[in-house]
Structure 1
Amino acid sequence: MSYNEYLDSFQGIGHINLIKVIPVITENSNEIKYFLELEILEGTNTGGTSFNYYFAEISLVNANNRYYIDSLLLSPEDFFCAAYHGWSQNAESYVEIVYGNWCGLIKKQYTPQQNDFTKEIVVDGVNGDKYMFKFAKLTNGTDFLINTLIQKDGAWVPVNIDVNKCLEKMKKEKA
């Protein structure tokens, strides 16, 4: 991105507040990821201003002893849904339904550990492994999954659990 494109990307923005920064564990030691939540004061088409909330994942890569932004994915938060949260916005329900019911992975789900910014749910897997699902707690009340981890040799490492494969398997078993 050229400097002028970068500068133009801030057109109409009056102020940006960084609400939270949460480290995300990655597989690659040369890549660093963070989950961000931003509050942005923006101009509107009607001449007014509005406060809008966004969450983002930013990836940094180490190249020649310098860190560069490799990617930034910015998504707006939906405050209309906040009063009507369903199971997919609640960490405990999400883990139970997706990884328990759909994937058949969970033997025991423990009480979440949480602070102002995150909620971590640890489960014992039916395969004997221990898993952790780490969620960011967004300003709109949504719990958003940011890391799926498995415990290996006492350390938490990223794991990819293909939920689509779980759903396909579940459909075949019911057929």
Structure 2
Amino acid sequence: MSLIHLPRVTKHWNYEIGTPFIKETMPANKFEKIRQFIHFNDNSKMPPREDPNADRLFKIRPILTKLNETCMQITLKSQLCVDEQICSTKARNNLKRYNPKKPKKWGYKIFVLCDTSGFAYSFEVESGAENIIEPGEPDLGAGIKIIGFILTTILRRCH
């Protein structure tokens, strides 16, 4: 579905313009039921937006945490870098960032710890909470704060 762009997800099951591979894989009703009931975190435990501990990624945080834990089980190479990647999207979401110098101008900004081959060991999605400056902390920007978080993860793992 991310490769074949149609105006609505349900159009993939359309008789005339639908995607044969998707139609053969799963009926539309089954897909809609899964989409309706799939949850990764308990919504009743979500802190309100005004709460200083509020997480914009609360609903998918368990998946992000598990992916990071799984990636970090792989032995680190000696040459690592932290890179910024944009995952393009047309979704209407306040996590979306605009970068006029990229071919896909709108997307989610993700900071990734990877090796020279591009394998990802850790990642963090920029959510805007990185811009909150704690008392006594210098204002170095969200990117530096995320990079510091990723590097702290490496240091904890090495010791």
TM-score by length of 2: 0.29
Going by fraction, where is helix more abundant, 1 or 2?
2
TM-score by length of 1: 0.27
